[in-house]
Amino acid sequence: MALETGGDRRVVAATDTATDTIVAPRRPVVAGGFPARRLRRLRRNEGLRRLVRETTLQPDDFIYPLFVSEAITEPAPITSMPGQAQWPLGTLAHQARQIAALGIGGVILFGIPAVKDELGSGAYAADGVVQRAIREIKDAAPDLVVVTDVCLCEYTSHGHCGLVRGGVVQNDETLELLAREAVSHAAAGADVVAPSDMMDGRVAALREALDASGYADLPILAYSAKFASAFYGPFREAAESAPQFGDRRGYQMDPANGREALREVELDVLEGADMVMVKPALPYLDVLARVRDRWNLPLAAYNVSGEYAMLKAAAANGWLDERRATLELLGGIKRAGADVIITYHAIEAARWLGEP
């Protein structure tokens, strides 16, 4: 910065660049501050605002969750998630084509089996509900990315994410079942498997089993920092997966812990995760930003069922402008560092983004 004085005029050169010369007013100027700097200049019209916009949303940022149930023949709306439903097999081709046509990045599948048992055997059955759903979607829309949620809670009679013995979810024995589930999803044609169980060592177990079964090229999206959250409430209605005793705090993370989330991510990266996830999104934007700062692999955020339900409820009461609030919220998740957003708003948001 150069400063010249001549007569009663002061010339202040340079605030941003050395060549920029400003004839200053008589009153003293703090270089870099007001009135030389007026941030409103770049907010004057939509053209300027668009030019300098730092974060933009696109449909291919989104992954849309689909609940597929073996126990129904007609779509069953989910009351706590207005606009969402459980879908029977046979209706997915239509869904898949519609989602692909909107340019949405992919879908993530959750299955509700006709029968549940202690071992969650529907999760790794070759003709299980998700395995059949994958084939149906891939036949209809081969280019639509199909992610599968790898977990046992929708398939076990007790509703926990792993094998239970003596009232305790067993870590190491569960790994084998999860690995079988992931391999069966791969065999059915999944593009990505996403373990959400929060057992220790599951990413390594899945990687090893996939590699040994001829799926060395199949990527793993790890639900790395998955918190024991109240915001999963509506999902448990949708997926019929509420635990029948206790809760998930013995395996999902304590919402108070940010540093531990970084350790979870680190371990999953070391075990071979190709993408990592933070879940839920809104109460954990700080965690997202910290993971983004530390790691360069693709980062996903799960904008979960309770976050969706809150917005829908407020909009239904006329308390929020749903379109603006939703796009602001999704944009905030992306600004915090997410490359990929799993959201029940994917279809609506993709439509809104396509409107002028």
Q: Rule CB under 6 A: which residues touch ligand PBG? A: 149, 151, 153, 161, 196, 232, 235-236, 248, 304-305
Which residue's C-beta sits nearest to ligand PBG? Answer: 235
Residue 75 CA to residue 87 CA, distance in Å, equals 5
Q: Exactly one of 138, 226, 312, 334 is catalytic; which is it?
A: 226
Which residue is catalytic, options 116, 279, 312, 334?
279
Q: Is 114 exposed, middle or buried (0-12, 13-18, 19+ CB in 10 A)?
A: exposed
* Max CA separation in the chain (angstroms): 90
Residue 232, sorted as left (phi over 0), alpha (psi -120 to 50) or beta, turns out to be alpha
**In the annotation, is 334 catalytic?**
no
* Closest to ligand PBG by CB, 12 or 311: 311
Which lies closer to ligand PBG via its Cβ, residue 12 or residue 203?
203
Asked if 191 and 210 count as a contact pair (C-beta separation under 8 A), the reply is no
In whole angstroms, what is the distance from residue 338 CA to residue 215 CA?
Answer: 27
Beta bridge partners of 165: 168
CB of 225 to ligand PBG, least distance (A): 13
Our answer to whether residue 226 is catalytic in this structure is yes
CA separation, residue 295 to residues 59, 187, 266, 270, 275 (Å): 24, 30, 9, 12, 10
The least CB distance from residue 279 to ligand PBG, in Å, is 7
134 versus 304: smaller Cβ distance to ligand PBG: 304
- Residue 191 CB partners (closer than 8 Å, separation 6+): 106, 145, 146, 147, 218, 219
Active-site residues, by number, are 226, 279
